[in-house]
Every structure is written in C-alpha cells, then in structure tokens.
Amino acid sequence: MTSTTRKPVGRPKDEELPARRRQEILDASAVFFARLGYPSADLRLLADELGVAKGTLYRYFPSKKHLFLATVDSCMHQLSQQVSVATLHIESPLERIEQALRAYFRFFDSHPHVVELIVQERAEFKDRELPEMAEPHDHAAMWHGYFDALLKSGVMRDVPVQRLVDTMSSLLYGLIFNKYVGCASESLESKTDDVLDIVFNGLMKDKNQGNQRNPWK
C-alpha cells in the first residue's frame, strides 16, 4: 500500500512478453510445420506442444496461413543474419564469397528443417501474394554485390555478373535441395571446397589452350 514509486504499482507488466511469446511460437512452428507438412499440421497439436490453447495462437497470428508464412520469413531472416555476421568484417572479395557460402551451408546444416519449410511454402503458396511479406530473395542482390567486387578485383574472367549470380544461386539452391531430397548425411559445409574448386577453376585442364572460348563450339 506504500506507494513510493508510483508507476510500478501492481503487476510489473512485462513489456517484452508478447514479443517473446510470438518468437516462441515461431520457433516451435518451424520444426512443427517441417515435421508434419503444412496441410497435415493441426494447430491444436502445435498449441499442445507449446503448452498454450489453440485460441492463443490466433491472438498472435490471424490465420494458419499467416503463421506459416511468418515462420518461413523468420527462418529466412535468421539465415540472412548469419550470413551478414559471417561476412561483414571481411575485405577480400574472394574470401567474402567463400565465407558467405560457408555461412549458408552451416545454417542449413544446423537448421535442416528450414529446407522443408521452403519446399512447403512453394508447394502450398506458389502464388503467395501476402503484401506484408518481405521478398526473401534479396539474397540475390547480396551475391550480385559480392561478385561485382570480385570482378573488379581483377582475378576473375570477364563473365556477365547477372548470369554468374543466377548460376551460383542455382547451385546453392540445388545443393540444399539435393541434401533435402537425398537424405545425404554428409554435411553441406564439407562440400564447400568441392564447389569452390569446380566453380572457380572449372573442369578443363587448360581452358586457354588455343583461342577457343568454348570447347564445344
């Protein structure tokens, strides 16, 4: 009843609680949706696992669809963060690319369920038109910058950067998707060297032999 401090009377009102709760839900959702697949994922089950009631989920997300997409975005955001952190302080364009690659692979090695989420998203919401969602493929812009810098550094052949980014993106997607499909137990990160070797050095023994640009033309 003594009221020296006026404001903090009563429950301290944890200002952070809603945000924390929201993130808890997102984290649980990620593995949950990945495990069951979007259509078979019963929100009651998720609520049970979280120890909350189904209705509570709807206080944080307006629909199952929104929850799922928010979950995917949350994962993609974490991915971006990890790649950013891994490359921020690196100067050498070449090494930056390598570290970015390793960061990608490390992320999917430690968050294997995210691949499932990506696939689920494309499968169920190929025509996704939720405006509030950030474009998750700004990663391309990042790669574009990296390879631009590499090109300018002069060690690289004069390859159109756009095509290069396309090809590299595809390679990345492919590796991740492949691991997801093939149940390959080998870690992605361990493949980094192979990929870099092939991409940077090419397969041919001597690409400058003679003046042929393309051996099959």
Partner DNA sequence: CATGAATGAGTATTCATTCAT
Partner DNA sequence: TATGAATGAATACTCATTCAT
Range 40-47, long-range pairs (CB < 8 A, 24+ positions): 41/68, 43/67
Q: Report if residue 62 touches DNA, rule: CB under 7 A.
A: yes
CA nearest 145: which of 105, 88, 200? 88
> In terms of CB distance, is 25 or 86 closer to DNA?
25
Among the candidate windows 42-50, 60-68, 77-85, 179-187, which touches a second copy by CB under 8 A? 179-187
Q: What is the DSSP letter of 38?
A: T
Least Å distance between CB 78 and a second copy? Answer: 19
CA nearest 64: which of 16, 25, 20, 106? 25
Q: Report if residue 1 touches DNA, rule: CB under 7 A.
A: no
CA angle 126, 45, 74 (to 5 degrees): 45
Q: Report if residue 48 touches a second copy, rule: CB under 8 A.
A: no
Across 1-12, b (16+ Cβ under 10 Å) vs e yields eeeeeeeeeeee
Q: Which residues bind a second copy (CB under 8 A)?
A: 10, 37-39, 53, 94-95, 98, 116, 119-120, 122-124, 126, 137, 154-157, 159-160, 163-164, 166-167, 169-175, 177-178, 180-182, 191, 193-208, 213-216
Which residues sit at the interface with DNA, rule CB under 7 A?
7, 9-13, 17-18, 21, 40-44, 51-56, 58-59, 62-65
